[in-house]
Structure 1
């Protein structure tokens, strides 16, 4: 991805990193910092990774 932000290096939050129910706000902040094209690229990469895992599981 061309954006300098990633889940490993999130944008510095203005508030807490987690909600009371445990939702990771750093991932939400990272995702909304992306352009729509970058969000689509991230989604596509995640789908490809899931499909590779499923394929590897079928072969095992």
Structure 2
């Protein structure tokens, strides 16, 4: 299985859409949605778990100071 979960939306292949298509009128970044949908369910969970771990590490660093 490819390690797409380590990539982010900036690492994803460029989409052939106009820059105005990247954000919805509400400000939602559509490239993030496209990136997440390009992953398998397992890869999505891994990507989310990596983000949770990063937030926990940041909190631990802040609390240890």
Q: State TM-score, norm by structure 1.
A: 0.84
* More relative contact order, 1 or 2 (CA 8 Å, 6+ apart): 2
Describe the shift of the 1:36–1:54 C-alpha distance in structure 2 as closer, same or farther (beyond 3 A). Answer: same
Question: Hey, what's the Cα distance between the residues in 1 that align with 2:27 and 2:38?
Answer: 21
**What 5-or-longer segments of structure 2 have no aligned partner?**
none
The structural deviation recorded for 1:14 is: 4.7
Gaps of 5+ in 1: none
Q: Does 1:38 align with 2:43?
A: yes
**RMSD between aligned residues:** 2.1
* TM-score scaled by length of structure 2: 0.78
Within a 5 Å distance, the mapping from 1:1-60 to structure 2 comes to 2-3=3-4, 6-11=8-13, 12=15, 14=17, 16-60=21-65
